[in-house]
Structure 1
């Protein structure tokens, strides 16, 4: 069963207008499935190449000859980061063919990394990001509790049981560490696994490179390099502080989040929502879910957090169409704001504040502050972006 993705039409529109469309995002998030679905009815015919398949790699032994012979097709190359030397050839071919819809390239390295390899494609390539499933994309029979424990990766959230989901998540982590990461230099799988598990325990907190380095027995720079690597492969997300000019002492270290709640649960050894609900990480995992949906729905919007040395804080601050929006995440059906939240709201002066909860209902809390569901938050922000 194919599940429609929110930006599927946007990606198809890019294919129709650009010579090269890059679809980027973490491994196993559905890029290949979506690309094959979009290519099913493509009028000129298609060719799909997976660079992790030996037979497809063999076809590219003489890449110029082979790809030149496929001129009239839409060519999809999966896991393009494994063969970055193809980019100059792709540039030459699209310039020769002079038409849109020449190539779709799929990659699980970040846009920044791919851009370093594809500089020669400037003006010829457009980047579109795909994430694990957003809450709005999932079938309605999937509960928010299941989304908590399993995350959004298709093979996890759609698994037939919690046991299979948990096994897949652990297999994904092992494969990522023991195979996918081997293409990067100066990398030790055992150290990365320990760091990743430590980050799961401090999920949603400001990063302390010194503390992490001391615990791992490595330098602060090594920790930073490893976190940058996790970020560049979409396994963690970093949120910068919102800096205002009010003269208060602000927390200036970034916050770090594991990018998917299912990965958090596997790293912490949590198998069920019941175990999750009593865990100290519960509130931060709700922040992870909200952040993942913000990133996936509004990829161009900058997201910050606000925290002062005196304890005033707001989870996320976003600027949309020149409006400052404050977002506080509360993993409760009966949310209340703390004194620190109210001080932060007064400091920031947002046009509106949303308190997002796992409930399916929304209601006004006070003037300028609304309690909203995750779906309600996305709907309200979508209205603001359309203004």
Structure 2
């Protein structure tokens, strides 16, 4: 039985299907002494975490990079300890004999810069909550704006430190699809196969505005203190409200209505203008759990990185897509209300028809189907990787 306690658009799940053959994995740390961002800023140093599954072959030709979603981490599969309550978010398709078969492939994933889950002990990431060695204080809003291209460049340096120059495939859901596509645009000769899942090659005005709704509650919370709140504590109300909105946007309305309280049952709201609906209280309760691990400024930076995305990071994303050499499979979710299937279709249409395949992930979860229902397209992924 799948229990979803955390429902997030660019999503973090607290409970996933457990698999008897889950891998045991180790989180590694990687440091770049001086990282230059796309915008010309310098971050000293940058630290990220990464983990891998399977074995690297002799000529290092069997590498699959998994690029994670907005509120995810590099924990794509397996467990850190045998008695861990949950496995990585794509454990259903990554492992021995699974769609992304670790008997064949060396599968690696890297935490993004400004990873949301700052207070998860298994997350290693540099961002606004990190101490800036130049000042001895958290970076706060002095941290430079970072982009999807910056996430890719950090990943590239991790891979090159392992002697990996080419990728058998790059696969990523949601914000991870942005990174996967950017890999294939920036390094077309290095990427053989590309699978953007619940994703898009661009963000349009509608999508950018949708994400601004996530940032606004944080910035309007007086406790945010213009990003300088680390000596006082998180802007809990703004962060919790933002995460509640993210949860709603991740779900198809039918699934949402089936899992949250029917407003018809609320009586107090008929007599008290300040009385909250039960469904909103439920959303806030779940968001409060997530807020214990996440950082408000990091959410803002991830929102901005996502808003700024278009393939190639220039004005013409359609032209940028034409540089891709990788065989490509777009896999949107049929019921996605956040990164609409039409966005995947439009992205695919900008590429050569002989190069691109398209299918949809069925299910009732909307955007979340790219995580919780990924097993529905496991055979399609396995065939594509062959």
TM-score range, shorter chain: under 0.3
Whose radius of gyration is greater, 1 or 2?
Answer: 1
Greater strand share, structure number: 1
Bigger helix share: 1
Normalised TM-score (structure 2): 0.27
TM normalised by structure 1 equals 0.27
Using CA pairs under 8 Å that are at least 6 residues apart, name the structure with larger relative contact order, 1 or 2.
2
